[in-house]
Each structure stands twice: as structure tokens, then as C-alpha cells.
């Protein structure tokens, strides 16, 4: 054990001496390792950060939640021209299904619509994400209310002019004032603010809750009717706990086919997407991003490996006389082999450490500059260190073997 510690200490001394005495050569040799490790760890860190953000955004929604509508989030085998002929889901269908599907715990009617401008006295905010929805939305989305409350069933059914606003909307319109019970103007009408959502930050799926205003869906239906190009209705379904999502989907499909009078053998003229299928699609995309990152970064690592091998062969050549003296004094081949092998690993790990420090620094800068947390996890640091060590071993093995097999007499003579 003491022998290997001595080897490690001497190899570190030789490696640091090589760095100091041959700065340019060492810099160019380690550049490939540094760039390769930086590329891989940067991709892994970015993907991990994105994955964490996605899971955080979806954590408050049951992965079995379903979306019933005339279009599909995922690719479909049904031709586009045929899907465009599908009718929108209706409020009557929502009310029917809510009573007809006992395996659904909650069912909400929502309209996707265009952004609007909201005003309060002299202040205004444009491009506000409007979410007209029935009262069950709060239970499906598990919304965090910072102050005030969400509207109740009576307010939702009557289409009362009440609103729950996002954090940024409240900040821009009211500053330090309490927005609850204040009057804002949307659609040319006065709405009473009854609740403010907690700050969410940037969202990976559509607009953030921070720039969102939620209002009763029946207000919009009463004002504009149900047939408008800027309104796309959906029915959001949360199954009962423990219920089989596919079974719930089949039940909804059968009930809606019957309600719409779709004949046996005809295709469904509606789509039902389960959120878990969407998350599986996202996981697949993230996996592909990781693979692409590894392939691209692999070329840099290959160049870095050749650089390490080159500097080690040069190091063997420069220290041939010293190797001969060591062997003449009794140093075994194993001692010489491990000495150069440790040196190659140490040089490679130094390059990898620089690459990981660059990732850490950039992650800190981007986290502070953007409303998005970039994470350099311990797992990625271990991967980076392991890769750097592996590159050092592979790149240094041939020079180390060559050094260990030198004849002591010829090695000493070559240095004279």
C-alpha cells in the first residue's frame, strides 16, 4: 500500500512538473479531454436540469390525468384532413360525462383561447395567458394559492366575473398592494380578484402560472358563445385513485360514442390523451438528447485521448535515462508501468476537472441570469471523473508498457 502511495505521489510530482515546464504542449494535449468532458457533462447537466424542471411542473398533476378533445397531443394515424373535421367537445358533453363516468374523480371543462390585455387603473399587462375553466380545475391541478381563494361551483356555473391571477400579474398591476378584492379589467369587463397564485417560475409546458389569469369558463361562454375560432374546448379528467387509466379511457370512449351516436365500425371523432403517455414521450426525447450529446462529445474525448498518449510517449522519451537509472537501482517493471500510468491518469483527471469547473461556472451564471435552475449533480461529477480516469488509463497504457520494457543499460546509454 505504501508503495502505491509513493507511486501516486511521485507521479503527481512528475505530472505537475510536466504541466509547469511544458505549458503549451500540456495545454494542447489536455484541451481535447477538457472539451470532451465539458461537452458531455454540460449536456448531461442541461438534460438533467430540464428533466427535473419537467417533473417539477408535472408533479402536481396526476400522471393518469386525461385530456378529451378533437385533436391529439401525440402523433396520430388518422389523416390530418379527417381530424380537422372532428367536432369540438361541448359543455353538455362535459356535464353528461361527469355524471355518466363514476371512475372519474374530477372532470373539468376548459377552453384554450388567445392572450388578452389586463388593466388596473393606469397599469396594464399584455399577452396574459387566459385560462377559462370550471371549478374542478383547482382539484385536478392542485393549484397553490398564495392569498385569497379559488372560485366555487356556484360562481363557476353562473359565470361570475371573478379571477385568480398569477404572481407576475399581481406584481406588475398592484406592486406592494394586496390584489384580493381589487377590480381589474379584462374583455372590457370588470373582474374581482379573489385569489393570487404562488410564484411558479418558468414553465416547460406552455405559459407559466405567473403570467396566467384563471376565470370561470361560463363567463367566456356567456360572452362569446361556444362556436368561435379563437376558442378550443377540452375536457380534463382525473381518474379515481387506483383506477386503471386504460379502463377509464375505455369507459369514456364508450359513453361518448353512444352520446354522439357513432355507429359500430366507425372511428372515434375525438381524441383522449393520457398524461403518462406524454411524459413517456418526453423521456424518450431526453434519452435521445443524451445519446446525441455522448456521440458528439465522444469525438472530443477521442482527440483528448490521443493528446494524452502523445504527451506520455514524449515523456517516456525525455525520461529514458531516468528510467534506466531507476531500473539499474532495482525498480521493477511494475513500478515503472504504474508510475507512467498514474501520470497519464492524473493529467487526464486534471483536464476533466477543468472541464467540470467550466460547466459549474456556466451553470451558476445561467441560473442567476435566467429563471431556470441548472444543476451539476454529484452523479454527473462522478461520471466526469470516471471518464477522465478511463481516458487516462487507455491513453497511458501503451506508453507505460513501452517505458516498463526498456533495457536499463540501453536506457542509460541513450541519455549520455
pLDDT of residue 4: 65
pLDDT of residue 364: 84
Q: What is the pLDDT of residues 67-83, one digit of tens each?
A: 999 887 666 677 777 77
Average pLDDT, integer, range 23-32: 72
Total count of residues recorded for the chain = 416
Contact 165, 131 (CB under 8 A): no
**End-to-end Cα, the chain, rounded Å:** 35
313: Cβ–Cβ under 8 A, 6 or more apart, which residues? 398, 399, 402
Residue 308 pLDDT > 90: no
Domain ranges of the chain: 2-57+283-414, 87-269
223: Cβ–Cβ under 8 A, 6 or more apart, which residues? 187, 189
**Segment holding 411, helix H or strand E:** helix 408-414
Please list the alpha-helical segments (H only) found in 130-274: 137-141, 153-158, 167-174, 217-224, 245-260
pLDDT of residue 15: 61
Mean pLDDT estimate for the chain: 81
Listed residue (45, 53, 377, 48) closest to 202, CA to CA:
53
Give, in order, the Cα–Cα distances in Å from 68 to each of 65, 214, 219, 331, 360.
Answer: 10, 20, 21, 77, 43
Q: What is the pLDDT of residues 114-158, one digit of tens each?
A: 999 999 988 999 999 999 999 999 888 878 899 999 999 999 999
Contact 210, 199 (CB under 8 A): yes
- Per-range mean pLDDT, top range of 184-193, 306-315, 402-411: 184-193
Q: What is the pLDDT of residues 207-216, one digit of tens each?
A: 788 899 999 9
Amino acid at each position: 500500500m505504501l508503495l502505491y502511495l509513493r507511486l501516486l505521489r511521485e507521479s503527481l510530482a512528475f505530472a505537475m512538473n510536466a504541466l509547469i515546464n511544458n505549458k503549451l504542449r500540456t495545454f494542447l494535449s489536455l484541451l481535447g479531454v477538457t472539451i470532451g468532458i465539458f461537452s458531455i457533462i454540460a449536456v448531461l447537466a442541461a438534460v438533467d436540469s430540464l428533466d427535473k424542471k419537467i417533473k417539477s411542473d408535472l408533479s402536481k398533476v396526476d400522471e393518469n390525468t386525461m385530456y378529451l378533445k378533437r385533436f391529439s397531443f401525440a402523433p396520430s394515424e388518422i389523416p390530418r384532413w379527417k381530424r380537422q373535421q372532428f367536432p369540438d367537445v361541448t359543455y353538455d358533453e362535459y356535464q353528461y360525462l361527469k355524471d355518466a363516468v363514476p371512475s372519474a374523480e374530477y372532470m373539468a371543462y376548459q377552453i384554450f383561447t388567445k392572450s388578452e390585455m389586463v388593466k388596473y387603473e393606469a397599469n396594464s399587462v399584455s399577452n396574459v395567458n387566459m385560462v377559462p375553466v370550471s371549478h374542478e380545475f383547482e382539484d385536478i391541478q392542485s393549484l397553490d394559492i398564495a392569498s385569497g381563494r379559488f372560485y366555487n361551483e356556484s360562481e363557476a356555473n353562473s359565470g361570475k366575473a371573478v379571477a385568480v391571477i398569477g404572481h407576475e400579474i399581481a406584481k406588475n398591476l398592484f406592486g406592494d398592494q394586496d390584489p384580493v378584492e381589487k377590480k381589474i379589467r379584462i374583455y372590457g369587463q370588470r373582474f374581482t380578484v379573489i385569489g393570487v397564485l404562488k410564484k411558479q417560475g418558468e414553465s416547460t409546458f406552455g405559459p407559466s402560472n405567473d403570467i396566467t389569469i384563471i376565470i370561470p369558463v361560463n363567463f367566456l361562454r356567456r360572452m362569446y358563445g361556444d362556436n368561435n375560432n379563437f376558442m378550443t374546448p377540452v375536457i380534463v379528467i382525473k381518474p379515481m385513485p387506483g383506477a386503471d387509466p386504460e379502463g377509464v379511457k375505455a369507459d369514456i370512449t364508450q359513453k361518448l360514442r353512444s352520446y354522439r351516436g357513432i355507429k359500430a365500425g366507425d372511428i372515434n371523432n375525438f381524441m383522449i390523451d393520457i398524461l403518462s403517455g406524454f411524459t413517456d414521450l418526453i423521456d424518450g426525447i431526453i434519452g435521445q438528447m443524451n445519446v446525441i450529446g455522448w456521440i458528439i462529445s465522444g469525438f472530443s474525448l477521442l482527440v483528448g485521448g490521443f493528446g494524452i498518449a502523445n504527451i506520455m510517449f514524449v515523456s517516456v522519451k525525455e525520461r529514458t535515462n531516468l528510467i534506466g537509472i531507476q531500473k539499474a537501482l532495482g525498480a521493477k517493471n511494475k513500478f515503472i508501468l504504474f508510475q507512467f500510468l498514474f501520470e497519464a491518469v492524473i493529467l487526464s483527471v486534471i483536464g476533466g476537472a477543468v472541464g467540470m469547473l467550466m460547466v459549474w461556472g456556466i451553470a451558476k451564471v445561467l441560473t442567476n441570469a435566467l429563471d431556470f435552475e441548472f444543476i451539476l449533480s454529484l452523479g454527473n461529477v462522478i461520471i466526469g471523473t470516471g471518464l477522465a480516469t478511463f481516458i487516462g488509463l487507455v491513453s497511458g497504457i501503451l506508453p507505460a508498457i513501452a517505458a516498463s520494457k526498456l533495457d536499463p543499460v540501453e536506457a542509460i546509454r541513450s541519455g549520455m
